Amino acid sequence: MQRAFLPFFLLMLMLVGRLNVARATGLRIPATVKDTIVVRLPNRATLTLTVRDAAQLRQLKNYHLDSLTSQLATYITRAETAAKTASTDQVTMEFYPDKDQPGKNLPEQVRITTHKKTENSSKVDVVLNKAFGLTVTTDEKGVKSYNTANTKTQEQRQAKRDSTRLKELERKSISTSLVFDLGLNSLVNQKQYFTAEGKPETVDLRPGGSRYVSIGLITYARLFGKRSPMLFSIGPEFSFNNYMLNGNDKWVITNGRTDVVREISGRQFEKTKLATSSINVPLMINLQLRDAHYKPTFTLGAGGFVGYRLSSWTKLKYTTEGTTYKDKNHDNYNLENFQYGLQGTIGYRGLEFFGKYNMNGLFKAGAGPDTQVLSFGIRIFGLN
């Protein structure tokens, strides 16, 4: 090891003596470099050798550094001469020791960047074989500094990220995603009906209070190949629907019918709603497009769902003589147990919207308002 480093010491002495500074910058050294040797010479110069691992350090003995030292002196002289007559502040020249002296196991490439000498400092950058190197800088006070850097270009880093995304895309032919939908309910295709007293009636919902929430665990399976943008998805999901009335109306069930009636006792309601919970199984075909870097962009999904009502209840909230009451009553309210319909999604990158249309009626025929449900809103999580 000592014999291998001796030519490096001689090289540094020659560079400092002729040019006041020697600076060599390593090319493409990974950010995870762990092994570094720093040698301080008597003339205040510093030699830094950085390698990726111990194995690369042991390989240094294979280089004929004594021959390289002699050849490098010629290269530096040529670079220095070129810098003196150049019109720019620096000149970069590339040499190929292994081709100049075949069979001596020299570096494949030496790149030397020579900067014109100024009043404050001067430097020469020497890079050996694009693998490891050293950086030494001298200022006007003779103070030395050194560093190493990862010189991968932005294009190379982007190519590596693209390759990683592509491998992940091809590996995950089946994936599972947590889906959280938050939106509103509205009643559509509503027909006027007659209450038990024979009065014509329609249901008027409070838009902001008639909320829809669902959470599901959806499995996606890629169709037609590893890179295909087509996917099939299936549930299950749990959903919660609120149907909050406007004004001072309330939901009641009398004589086997569910009706909306006006409160006549003088009590003023803050909230009056009918709520349901159900389990659904959506089945959809999804299109997911990606950009040139394999990042998801436009998404589109269409399909249907089937489900079953788990529970239903009404809730009244009102205040009397300074006391707030919340009356809650569980019943089936003549709601349909089974439900089915159509649903779809559309989105771009991280933003996605959903729509859900119940094809069957909300209530059983002849036992409540004749209407269907449309739910819509934003999908917080989903296809990725």
146-160 pLDDT, tens digit each: 555 444 578 888 888
> What pLDDT, on the 0 to 100 scale, is given for residue 26?
40
> What pLDDT, on the 0 to 100 scale, is given for residue 25?
38
Local structure of residue 154 (DSSP, 8 states): H
Tens digits of per-residue pLDDT, 16-61? 444 333 333 344 444 454 567 776 767 666 666 676 666 766 666 6
Go through 223-241 and write b for each residue having 16 or more CB atoms within 10 A of its CB, e for each that does not.
eeeeeebebebebebbbeb
Longest pairwise C-alpha distance within the chain:
111
In this prediction, residues 74-93 reach a mean pLDDT of: 75
Q: Is the pLDDT of residue 370 over 60?
A: yes
C-alpha to C-alpha distance for 184 and 35, rounded to whole angstroms: 60
From the number of C-beta atoms within 10 Å of its C-beta (0-12, 13-18, 19+), residue 179 rates as buried
> What pLDDT, on the 0 to 100 scale, is given for residue 45?
62
Q: Is the pLDDT of residue 128 over 90?
A: no
For the chain, where are the alpha helices, taking DSSP H only?
Answer: 2-19, 54-58, 65-85, 97-100, 154-171
The region that residue 14 occupies, defined by phi over 0 for left and psi between -120 and 50 for alpha, beta otherwise, is: alpha
The β-bridge relationship of strands 338-348 and 110-115 is unpaired
Q: Is the pLDDT of residue 297 over 80?
A: yes
Band of pLDDT at residue 382, cut at 50, 70 and 90:
low
**Residue listed under structure tokens 């000149």:** 91
In this prediction, residues 166-181 reach a mean pLDDT of: 90
- CA triple 213-309-375, angle to 5 deg: 35
The contacts of residue 50 (CB under 8 Å, 6+ apart) are 26, 29, 33, 35, 36, 37, 132, 133, 134, 148
Tens digits of per-residue pLDDT, 267-284? 889 999 999 999 999 999
